[in-house]
Structure formats: C-alpha cells, structure tokens
C-alpha cells in the first residue's frame, strides 16, 4: 500500500477536454493591432463583440491601433511629483514665507507657556 495522496496526478479541472464537456465555443475573429515600435499583436474577440480601436501591446506596453501605417503615439509620461512640488504650484514663495513665519510664531508662543 502506498502512503500518499489518493488523488495523485490530478488537478482541478482535469478530465476530458472537449466541446461536449464545455459546450460549443463562440465564433471568434482575430484583429491585428500595430504599435509605434512595429510590434503586431492579434487578439481574438467574439464575432459579435465590439472591437476596440486601441489595444495595449503585450511586448512593449505602448498603445496599438488597427492602422499599420499610422499607429497611435506613445502617451506623454508626466514625471512623478512630490507633495512639496504640488504645494509649490499652488503657493508663491511669499505665501510660503508668511505661512512659515506664522507657524514659527505659534510654536515659540507655545514654548513660552
């Protein structure tokens, strides 16, 4: 008698794989998409599905379009901004100095108590 798992060699979903088990597959259509770096990808869609104009290229991640001669341009990447950069966009240096002076005067007043 072997000591081990009684269901050795099986996995979830294992069994006969055929259309009789799963039902019939929907009619499919393959659509070609081209990215700016020249990659081509051909995902398949259900025949009655709405086909998107753009698709992300699985090789480089750029957007891909259906027109081989004019693929979509790469999106413009905004650099990462820190919280301080956003604050500096909203406030001038004079505003920052005034806020700092106010905060320092409150801190000094609380220490004198």
Which DSSP state fits 58? T
Q: Output DSSP code: residue 51.
A: P
| Residue ranges at the known binding site | 35, 39, 57, 60
d(CA 88, CA 95): 10
Euclidean distance between CA atoms 37 and 57, whole angstroms: 10
Residue set of the binding site for Zn(2+): 35, 39, 57, 60
For residue 34, the surrounding DSSP H or E stretch is: strand 33-35
């Amino acid at each position: 008698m072997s000591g081990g798992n009684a269901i050795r060699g099986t996995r979830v979903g294992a069994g006969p794989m055929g259309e009789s088990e799963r039902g019939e597959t929907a009619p499919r259509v393959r659509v070609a998409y081209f990215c700016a770096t020249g990659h081509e990808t051909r995902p398949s869609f259900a025949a009655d599905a709405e086909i998107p104009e753009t698709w992300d290229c699985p090789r480089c991640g750029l957007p891909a379009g259906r027109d081989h001669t004019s693929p979509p341009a790469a999106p413009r990447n905004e650099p990462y901004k820190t919280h301080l950069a956003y604050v500096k966009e909203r406030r001038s240096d004079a505003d920052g100095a005034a806020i700092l002076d106010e905060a320092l005067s409150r801190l000094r007043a609380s220490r004198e108590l």
